[in-house]
Structure 1
Amino acid sequence: MRRVMKMVAAASVAALALAACGSSSDNASSGNGSTGSSTKKALKVGLAYDIGGRGDQSFNDAAAAGLDKAKSELGVTAQEAEATSGEAESAKEDRLRTLAQAGYNPIVAVGFAYASATDKVAAEFPDINFAIVDNARSDKTPKNVHGLLFAENEGSYLVGAIAALKSKSGNIGFVGGVQVPLIQKFEAGYVAGAKAINPNIKIQTKYLTQPPDFSGFTDPAKGKTAAQGMLDAGADVIYHAAGGSGGGVFEAVKAKNAMAIGVDSDQALTAAPAVRDVIISSMIKKVDVAVYDFIKSAQDGTIPDGDQVYDLKKGGVDYSTTGGHIDDIKSKVDDLKQQIIDGKITVPTQP
């Protein structure tokens, strides 16, 4: 069951909220860890989810998987906290600050929406290591903040090629949750990959919301409506980078017996069972690997300076083959993958 920590103004009450919603592992000994960490003191890890939290079947769940692996293999204890749609920036700050005050170190913030809050709170707690997913360091970023970045454009290039190779209508779609530079990286790669296969392919694009409205990541109804419009206009493959809104995209695709491409996790395994058969591939963004790597490096005392970039070459992004829908084109996609790794193909980051 998802655990949600609701932040309140008073720090003492917030601390109680942390204790109240902690997992059973929070009450475990903070001495020696289990597997592979018999001589190391187990860490107390704080993890702050983006909107949608654990259970979104996508981005946040990937982070949760990394945390769960760290609990199992490294013996860490953990506290999870979740953002709410439309919350004030101060709520993000309070969430991170409360974790820091409670002694959690390191702390992982999931999503670029935490950028300002992470920088501010990290400056207040210079002895605590923070990681933020999807936000690069700047000249003003405190030294104890580490970015976990991904080459989403490279993975999206591959699923763009898949969409073009599988499309029978020569008409495909892209649904983005919120029109921000990060999600435009997905679009840029997808369009480039599709056009590499079919320069004349039609690509419909729709963003569900514009910043500062981030509800586009948590509104399946909007996702369904956007996908229905694309399908009615002739698309037969739709790729989404819309978080929890992707569930609505899958529903629309299922109703039309078309094809969908998931994002972040292998959604042919994580989406609602009723729609999994229409998901021909997913652009896998290995947030779980990045989160686990960061926690392990914190435990080992080997956190690298600066940002860590997870690209195709490092295995940080990829495409899935669950269901066998793309077995007939896998060799072509793998050839494109190798060309990107070898530097023969440069994938754009902007549409």
Structure 2
Amino acid sequence: MTALKGILAASALAGVSIFSVQPAMADGEVNIYSYRQPDLIKPLLDEFTKETGVATNVLFLDKGLVERIQAEGANSPADVILTVDIARVMEATEGGVTQPVTDNETINKDIPAQFRDPAGEWFALTTRGRVVYASKDRVEQDQITYEELADPKWKGRICIRDAQHSYNIGLIASMVAEHGEEYTETWLTGLKNNLARKPNGGDRDQAKAILAGECDIALGNTYYVGLMQTNEKEPEQKDWAAAIKVLFPNTEDRGTHVNISAMALAKNAPNKDNAVKLMEFLASGEAQKIYAEQVFEYPVMPGAEPSEIVKSFGTIKPDTLPLADIAANRKVASELVDKVGVNEGPEG
């Protein structure tokens, strides 16, 4: 059994998906393990193959990517890892499944220093804001802060997904970095008391709940708004998006918390040259434009413009807090969520 056939067999069992599969893993190919949905990166990879002649194989996993590569060991076919969150890219580096790409002029030229690991273990490609979805009908204000989410005026009016989800942990970790552990615990207690129900669903479900009148504001990522607005397969999601407006928290002070999508070179990449070639392509302005438009996110390259749909959300002022500081506070953030009992929902 070839390495690729092994992937296919294991993937069928694991419920993951592959596209652009080639007959064998030989020269002229690159293998991508991705947390990002395959249809969202396909236009990028198609363009890469068109320009370079290098074919791509993609293994998509919504969880367990790091464990998969660890189990495969030195024989892992993974060349490039694509992640959708600073927490997940840190899991990859801390899990020992990446290797550094250092002194690469092409990548370092296109990706600013604050969006790459100092040791070259990972590189951000796009950013997204963790914003507030607010009811157009029931919320008059157009500005808000994260701190305000603990204000009793929002009691019974807030919806969120699982507080332990990496998107929320990233935001909570930024609060720890900004205000300290004690403040953040008090803030989380206020947020918990303001919840309309127990945390559940995904970000899009929070917009759905706002349309249904279950809550008035919610936490969500910016890109989900674009995905809802353009969803032809499930057109009811357009109604969810139409019911909300995007509020960018803390625009008057430190700015809105942002997270990243990122890439890393796999530790035992069998097609290392092609892997670096793909990473150089993904860092380029051309690829960032395609990627950002496809996933409704913000390119990290200075001066690169987001899509018109993303611009329609409003102007984002990103928090300049280093991603490393957020990553360093993830454990504390998770412990505080459990200590406060956020996922238990509001009391009474």
Could you tell me the TM-score, scaled by structure 2's length? Answer: 0.45
Could you tell me the TM-score, scaled by structure 1's length? Answer: 0.44
